[in-house]
Chains A and B, each alone.
Chain A
Amino acid sequence: MRQLISTVALVSALGLGACATTAGDDPDTSAASSTPAASAPAAAATPAPNTQAFSRVVDLGQGVSMLMGQGGNLGLSVGEDGVFMIDDQYATNAIANLTKIEELAKGKPKYLVNTHWHFDHAGGNEVFAKAGATVFASDAVRKRLTAEVKSVNRQGVASEPAPKEAWPVVTFVDGVDFHLNGQTIRAIRTPLPAHTDGDVFVYFVEADVLHMGDTYMKDRYPFVDTGSGGTQAGFIAAIRKALEIARPTTKVIPGHGELATKADLQAALAMHEGARAAVQAQIDAGRTLEQTIAAKPLAQWTPRFGPAGGFITDDAYVTVIYNELRK
């Protein structure tokens, strides 16, 4: 439990309970994460937390790329019809990201889709909207950013509204399609609440690129944000739906972590389903939560999905599944 507790402290220090780590590929973030973001100003010697622009561009063909840095992975489509983006990381690095994207794309972002409301994915909304982007998201994302529906972090603290300019202007229930830059770009709502209650993933049909948002983090146990309506069953449903869409050649952009494949998604689905069954077996045997955690039911998946690059331990994931199954 010790690791879980420190995770809670970390998450609450960052305020909202989003998935705020890319420690594997970004040492800055882990350094920043140890300093509560909201408290003292950054010391002169170390950069302020999450202020750096993305540092890696992964070219996925046909003008589509994955941008990696602090916060969630960005998706980008550049072409004659304008700049289309998926997610915008933090408020604190938004200007840096915007500047670098304008250089890269030779234009300002016009279309911006939020995969979900968390501040490491939608934190830049205000800056990008003021620069002219129209922000698209599911209806639930807007309700959480306006705080019409409060989100509760794991210390029971309710969320505050984001600045008005950060609220999505166009919302949808099931999804919308974009037709630009030679791509059909489908924003697709997950069948059930997964990471949150407002998740979408985005598929570039012609480029064959699928951005999963935080319904998938490569080789990590998932963060089921129950305080934002997330469910473990939703991860299973979301990845099943993604697997219906993905082809064997599909390039999968995870919410966090390195570029992945359809086979990686299949492995994640097997893990989620296996984990659920393993915890159910413990419940069926009459075990308490503590006993279930102690039994290490996820042992076979932990070498691949354990906390090396993520912040959800096997114990934390067992806890979420246990509590959901006992509801």
Chain B
Amino acid sequence: MRHWVGMWPAALGLGLTAPAAAQNAPPAPRVQDLGAGLHVIFGQGGNIGLSAGPDGAFVIDDQYQASAAANLAKIEELAGGGPRYLINTHWHGDHTGGNAAFAEAGAMIFAHENVRRRVSTTSSFNGNPVPPLPEPAWPVITFVDGVDFHLNGETIKVFKVQASHTDGDSMVHFVEPDVLHMGDVFFNGLFPVIDLRSGGSVRGYLAAMREVHDRIDDDTRIIPGHGPVGGKADLRKQIDMLDGAIKAVEARIRAGDTLQQAVARKPLQPWSGYAWTVISEDSFTTTLYNGLKQ
């Protein structure tokens, strides 16, 4: 498991965008136009959401420091200006690594209060210490339940969800075009990261996805934290996978397996297609086992 942390930045980029070749330079951002001024920027790290319009660029997440310049240039190109408002869906470095560069470019950074707490102090990721980000990268405006933005002719609702991927996850709903950015509470078609050491919760993760599923419409479009843009049916599939995986690991716990025994039994074999560079079947079994034992 230890190598996993070191792999994280490279692995996300490699796993999602540019197999093999992108060891050195970050991959060029790739853009999907969702209409009504909304875009998704895929690159290295979490998917970036962008609302561009007369009131300025509104951005969700900012990937890594190394990809910040390329992402800022792409935002400038799409929006005709730099980012004015930036939301961090959670504290992880593949979603907040660009904060300092984005703040320098004029972005006002908003996040749940636990995000600020974790990026302004030494946190831990998978047992390894993560040093604080430099102060200019810290969110300036924090909330507990959420905030609403009214700009570019849209209502944009930012709301905190229950402890799931971490204890500070927010989602962002563009109400009129009905597009929802779920942050890392949705890895579309991939085993998710559930960061138990940042207050994440296996059962909370499933419950949060179910709650979203029950609230959205059939034609709601979903920007996941990682993976392609999807819809309600994709979320349903992901819920069924996690529900099945939880039950499979619970069965091992009930049978009295140790973690090593549970992993060795390959309980997630039916869902092996969800494994990817960062989260293997075994590592997800480990997360579920540890999370369900909590």
B141 contacts the other chain (CB 8 A): yes
Asked if A263 CB lies within 8 Å of chain B CBs, one says: no
Tell me the bound Cα distance from A83 to B228 in angstroms.
Answer: 40
Contact of B150 among A169, A176, A177 (CB under 8 A): A169
Q: In the complex, which of the residues B116, B148, B149 has the most CB atoms of chain A within 10 Å of its own CB atom?
A: B148
Given contacts A171-B150, A174-B145, contact A81 B140 (CB under 8 A): yes
Enumerate chain B residues within 8 angstroms of A142, measured Cβ to Cβ.
Answer: 150
Note all chain A residues with C-beta closer than 8 A to B149: 169-170
Tell yes or no: A48 within 8 A of B by CB. Answer: no
Interface residues on A, range: 10 to 19
Q: Are A177 and B141 in contact (CB under 8 A)?
A: yes
Query: Contact between B151 and A176 (Cβ–Cβ < 8 Å)?
Result: no
Residues of A within 8 A of B141 (CB): 170, 176-179
Bound complex: CA A176 to CA B148 (Å): 11
A179 adjacent to B142 (CB under 8 Å):
yes
CB pair A167–B150 under 8 Å, yes or no, is: yes
Cβ–Cβ < 8 Å partners of B55 in chain A:
169
Known: A134-B108, A177-B113, A179-B139. A168 touches B144 (CB 8 A): no
In the complex, the answer to whether B151 meets A172 with C-beta atoms within 8 Å is no
Determine if A178 and B145 form an interchain contact, defined as CB atoms under 8 angstroms apart: no
Of all chain B residues, the one with the shortest Cβ separation from A146 is: B150
Cα A174 to Cα B143 in complex, Å, equals 9
Number of interface residues of B (CB under 8 A): 19
Q: Which residues of A contact B144 (CB under 8 A)?
A: 174-175
- Docked CA distance A81–B146 (Å): 23
Contact with A along B121-158 (1 / 0, CB 8 A): 00000000000000000111111111111110000000
Q: What residues on B are CB-neighbors of A178 within 8 Å?
A: 140-141
| CB <8 Å contact, B147 and A176 | yes
Q: How far is the CB of B88 from chain A (nearest CB, A)?
A: 13
Chain B residues with CB under 8 A of A281? none
Residue-wise interface mask of A (99-140) relative to B, using a CB-CB cutoff of 8 A (1 in contact, 0 not)? 000000000001000000000000000000000001000010
Given contacts A134-B108, A167-B150, A179-B116, contact A173 B145 (CB under 8 A): yes
Whether A170 and B145, one on each chain, are in contact in the complex, defined by CB atoms closer than 8 angstroms, is no
Q: Mark A167-209, 1 if CB is under 8 A from B, else 0.
A: 1111111111111100000000000000000000000000000
Residues of A within 8 A of B143 (CB): 172, 175-177
**Once the chains are docked, how many angstroms separate the CA of A134 from the CA of B84?**
10
Shortest Cβ distance from residue A131 to the other chain B in the assembled complex, whole angstroms: 14
Q: How far is it, in angstroms, between the C-alpha of A149 and the C-alpha of B116 when the chains are bound?
A: 35
**Shortest Cβ gap from B139 to chain A (Å):** 7
Identify the closest chain B residue to A186 (Cβ). Answer: B142
How far does the alpha carbon of A174 sit from the alpha carbon of B147 in the complex, in Å?
A: 9
> Could you tell me the distance between the alpha carbons of A81 and B145 in the complex, rounded to whole angstroms?
25
- Contact across chains for B147 and A180 when beta carbons are under 8 A apart: no
Residues on A with beta carbons closer than 8 Å to the beta carbon of B147? 170-172, 176
- Top 9 A-B residue pairs of the complex, sorted by shortest distance between their CB atoms: A171-B148, A177-B142, A172-B147, A176-B143, A179-B140, A169-B151, A180-B140, A170-B147, A176-B141
A-B contact pairs, 26 of them (CB 8 A): A81-B140, A110-B108, A139-B148, A142-B150, A167-B150, A169-B55, A169-B151, A170-B150, A171-B150, A172-B145, A172-B147, A172-B148, A173-B145, A174-B144, A174-B145, A175-B143, A176-B141, A176-B147, A177-B141, A177-B142, A177-B143, A178-B140, A179-B139, A179-B140, A179-B141, A180-B140
